[in-house]
Amino acid sequence: MSSKKQCSQPGESTGNSTETRRDFIKKSSFLTAIALTPVTIVKSAEKQWDEKFADIFEKVPLTLEVNGVKHSLSVEPRTTLLDLLREEFALTGTKKGCDRGQCGACTVHVNGVRINSCLSLAITNSGKKVTTIEGLANGDDLHPMQEAFIKHDGFQCGYCTSGQIMSATALVKEGHTHSEAEIKEFMSGNICRCGAYPNIVKAIQEVKGGQPS
Partner 1 sequence: MNQFQYSRPAEIASAIKLLAKDSNGHFLAGGTNLVDLMKMGVVVTNKLVDINHLPLKQIQKTPTGITIGALATNSEVADSAIVKENFPLLSLAINAGASPQLRNMATTGGNLMQRTRCPYFFDITAPCNKRVPGSGCSALQGYNRMHAIFGANDQCIAVNPSDMNVALTALDATVHVSGVKGERKIKFADFHRLPGDHPELDNTLQKGELITAVDIPASPFNKNVYYLKIRDRTSYAFALVSAAAALHIENNTIKGVRLAMGGVAHKPWRLTAAETFLTGKPVNEDNFKQAAQIAMQGAKAYEYNKFKLKLAPNAVIQALKMASGIAS
Ligand X SMILES: Cc1cc2nc3c(=O)[nH]c(=O)nc-3n(C[C@H](O)[C@H](O)[C@H](O)COP(=O)(O)OP(=O)(O)OC[C@H]3O[C@@H](n4cnc5c(N)ncnc54)[C@H](O)[C@@H]3O)c2cc1C
Residue ranges binding ligand FES (CB under 6 A): 96-99, 101-106, 116, 118, 155-161, 192-194, 196
CB of 88 to ligand FES, least distance (A): 17
Give CA 114 to chain center in angstroms.
9
How does 77-97 read in b/e, with b if 16+ C-beta sit within 10 Å?
Answer: bebbbbbbbbbbbbbbbbbbb
Identify the sign of the CA torsion 158, 166, 118, 4. Answer: negative
Give the C-alpha separation, 147 to 154, whole Å.
Answer: 10
Please choose which of partner 1, ligand X, ligand FES, none residue 142 contacts, taking the beta carbon within 5 to 8 angstroms, the exact cut-off set by kind. Answer: none
Nearer to ligand X, 89 or 186 (CB): 186
| Binding residues vs partner 1 (CB under 8 A) | 30, 49-57, 60, 76-78, 80, 99-101, 104, 107, 113-116, 119-121, 123-124, 167, 170-171, 174, 176, 184-186, 188-191
Q: Residues 83, 29: contact at Cβ < 8 Å?
A: yes
CB of 164 to ligand X, least distance (A): 17
Q: Residues 53, 59: contact at Cβ < 8 Å?
A: no
The neighbouring-strand residues paired with 74 are: 35, 61
CB of 186 to ligand FES, least distance (A): 16
Nearer to ligand X, 61 or 97 (CB): 97
The amino acid that residue 31 corresponds to is: L
Nearer to ligand X, 101 or 158 (CB): 101
Nearer to ligand FES, 1 or 198 (CB): 198
| Binding residues vs ligand X (CB under 6 A) | 101-102
Give the C-alpha separation, 66 to 110, whole Å.
Answer: 9
Give the C-alpha separation, 50 to 159, whole Å.
Answer: 40
Other beta carbons less than 10 A from residue 153's beta carbon: 13
Nearer to ligand X, 7 or 103 (CB): 103
Please choose which of ligand X, ligand FES, partner 1, none residue 157 contacts, taking the beta carbon within 5 to 8 angstroms, the exact cut-off set by kind. Answer: ligand FES
Nearer to ligand FES, 9 or 102 (CB): 102
CB of 80 to ligand X, least distance (A): 13
Interstrand relation of 60-66 and 129-131 (parallel, antiparallel or unpaired): parallel
